[in-house]
Amino acid sequence: MTKLRSYDTDELILHRLFFALRPSEEAIGEIAAIRDGLGPVQSHIPDEKLHMTLFVHNRPTTPDPDLVERMSKVAAKVAGPGMRVALGELIGNGDNVLLRPGDHMPVLGAFRDKLAYGLAVAGVPSMRGYRFDPHVTIAYGMRDSFRRTVPLISWRSDELVLVHSLVGLTEHRILGRWKLGE
C-alpha cells in the first residue's frame, strides 16, 4: 500500500524532495556502531535511510511529474566526480545526533553548489531557510548536547539519489539515481 496520492488532491502531509549521497555498506556498519552505542534516544535512523542531504525542496502536495522530471534532468547534467566523504565528529545538539566532517570538503561543496544552481535555473527553489551543512543524522530525540571526535568514517560516494520523503511518516522513496565519476 502506498501513502502517495494524486498531486491534485488535498493533503496534510509535507512532501520533501531531496538530493543526497548514501554511505557505502562498510561506512553504514561503522555509523551503525556509533548510533547503536548512543544510549536512550527517541528514534534511531535506520541503516537504509542514512544519507547526507545536498538539496531540499518541500511541497504541500505530492510532487507532480513535471517537477520530478526537471529535477532529474538537472541531476543528469551535473557531471560530478566520485568524491571522498569523511566524517570525524559526533554532535548532539539537544535534539538530533549528527556525524559531521572534521575538515572542510571543497569538492563536495563545489558539487553541491553546482547542483543547487542548476535546480534554481530549472525553477526548483530550495527549502526556505535551508543552508548546506554537511552531516549524516543518526538519531532524533537525545536531550544531551555534546561534541566529540570519533574514528574517521570515510567512503567514496559514487551515486547521487533523489528521494521523496513523506515527513513524519518515515517513508522514503527513491525517485532517481545518477552515477558520479563516470
What SS3 state is found at 26?
A: helix
Residues 134-160 have pLDDT tens digits of 999 999 988 889 999 999 999 999 999
What average pLDDT does range 27-45 have in this prediction? 93
What average pLDDT does range 14-20 have in this prediction? 90
pLDDT of amino acid 181: 83
Residues 57-94 have pLDDT tens digits of 988 778 889 999 999 999 999 977 889 999 999 999 98
Residue 131 pLDDT exceeds 90: no
% of the chain at pLDDT higher than 70 = 92
pLDDT of amino acid 2: 40
- Pick one of 3.20.20.70, 3.40.50.300, 3.90.1140.10, 3.30.465.10 as the CATH number of 15-179: 3.90.1140.10
Residues 86-119 have pLDDT tens digits of 999 999 998 899 999 988 899 999 999 999 999 9
Q: Which three cell numbers stand for residue 29?
A: 556498519
Mean per-residue pLDDT of the chain: 89
Q: CA nearest 99: which of 88, 107, 108, 109?
A: 88
pLDDT of amino acid 12: 63
% of the chain at pLDDT higher than 90 = 65
